Amino acid sequence: MSESQLRADIVEVGRRMYARGYTASNDGNISVRLGSDRLLMTPKSVCKGFMTPDMMCITDLEGRKLQGERDPSSEMLMHLEVYRQRPDVQAVVHAHPPIATGFAVAGIPLDRAVLAEVLTTLGSIPIAEYATPSTKELPEAVRKYIKAHDGMLLANHGALTSGADLYAAYYKMETIEHFAKISLVARLLGGENLISREEVERLQGLRGMYGIAAPAPLCADPAELDVNDPALCQVLEAPEGTGERLIPDVNAVLKTASRTGEIRLTYGELTALIADAVKQLRD
Ligand SMILES: [Zn+2]
């Protein structure tokens, strides 16, 4: 693909990210490989919704600027790390989509077996540990997960995706935000039903059938985890189903009443009960 086409594609991806509210102000950054030894990247301090093709920077794989009036993205180090760890990756997208970032802020990874499409494409979406943006801490946090994952949340920060081209990386960002929305709604409605481990294995087989190039296999059984290299599989919460394909969310069931008849309350519900009891005593 020509350099001018890639510049135009970065502009378009930036416009879509901004239009969908994945970035505010000058947030986010986008990069793509330009041949074997150079990168084309968004510049520092511009709104991704209003870029023009001439604004982009060209750097080498060490981050040295080769061309461009502006300086490269402040998150360049994170992008360089992804390209270093993943020779198959052609493009990297970083944004702060609000629902997915809400999960990243709450410390809740999107790693439950919930949607078949997400399982076959992205697999599980972990949270990379908090790191100060634009420092070398951030690439270190990303390094732990990038070998096994095309998409991840960044604790108290945002999300990061990669792909075989610019649009593939961008669509993964859309998938993460869409999945986060669905997960949030399901949790508000009482919790997700989970896809069973057996069904996850079936879906894993479909990946091969549809030629989906996932970076690592799904690990629905924690015993499959390679302790020497946890980065080589995607860990999922998918309970044993004894033949069932869908399993009720155990956590949601526990919240209302356990098998022993025990009732679990949230902190808010408990304080409301106590306040009510005290009021009745006073009256
Ligand atoms: Zn950011």
Q: Measured in angstroms, how far is the CA atom of residue 132 from the centroid of ligand 1?
A: 10
Among the ranges given (109-118, 198-207, 239-248, 249-258), the one the predictor scored with the smallest mean pLDDT = 249-258
How does residue 217 score in pLDDT terms, banded at 50, 70 and 90?
confident
State the burial class of residue 165 (Cβ atoms within 10 Å of its Cβ: 0-12, 13-18, 19+).
Answer: middle
How does residue 65 score in pLDDT terms, banded at 50, 70 and 90?
very high
In this model, does residue 184 exceed pLDDT 80? yes
Q: Measured in angstroms, how far is the CA atom of residue 136 from the centroid of ligand 1?
A: 14
CB distance 228 to 246 below 8 Å: no
Q: Measured in angstroms, how far is the CA atom of residue 173 from the centroid of ligand 1?
A: 13
pLDDT of residue 207: 84
How high is the mean pLDDT of the chain? 91
Q: Give 169-172 contacts, CB < 8 A, sequence gap 24+.
A: 169/89, 169/90, 169/91, 169/92, 169/93, 170/13, 170/16, 170/17, 170/30, 170/91, 170/93, 172/93, 172/121, 172/122
Around ion ligand 1, residues with a beta carbon closer than 5 Å are: 158
Specify whether 75 is catalytic: yes
How does residue 213 score in pLDDT terms, banded at 50, 70 and 90?
confident
Q: Measured in angstroms, how far is the CA atom of residue 74 from the centroid of ligand 1?
A: 9
pLDDT of residue 134: 85
pLDDT of residue 272: 83
pLDDT tens, residue by residue, 37-64: 999 999 999 999 999 999 999 999 999 9
Which residue among 3, 12, 75, 240 is the active-site one?
75
How does residue 205 score in pLDDT terms, banded at 50, 70 and 90?
confident
Q: Measured in angstroms, how far is the CA atom of residue 15 from the centroid of ligand 1?
A: 16
For the full predicted model, state whether its pTM sits above 0.85.
yes
pLDDT of residue 283: 79
How does residue 252 score in pLDDT terms, banded at 50, 70 and 90?
low
Neighbours of 282 (CB within 10 A): 6
pLDDT tens, residue by residue, 117-175: 999 999 999 999 999 988 989 999 999 999 999 999 999 999 999 999 999 999 999 99
What secondary structure letter does DSSP report for 20? T
Among the ranges given (12-21, 50-59, 235-244), the one the predictor scored with the smallest mean pLDDT = 235-244
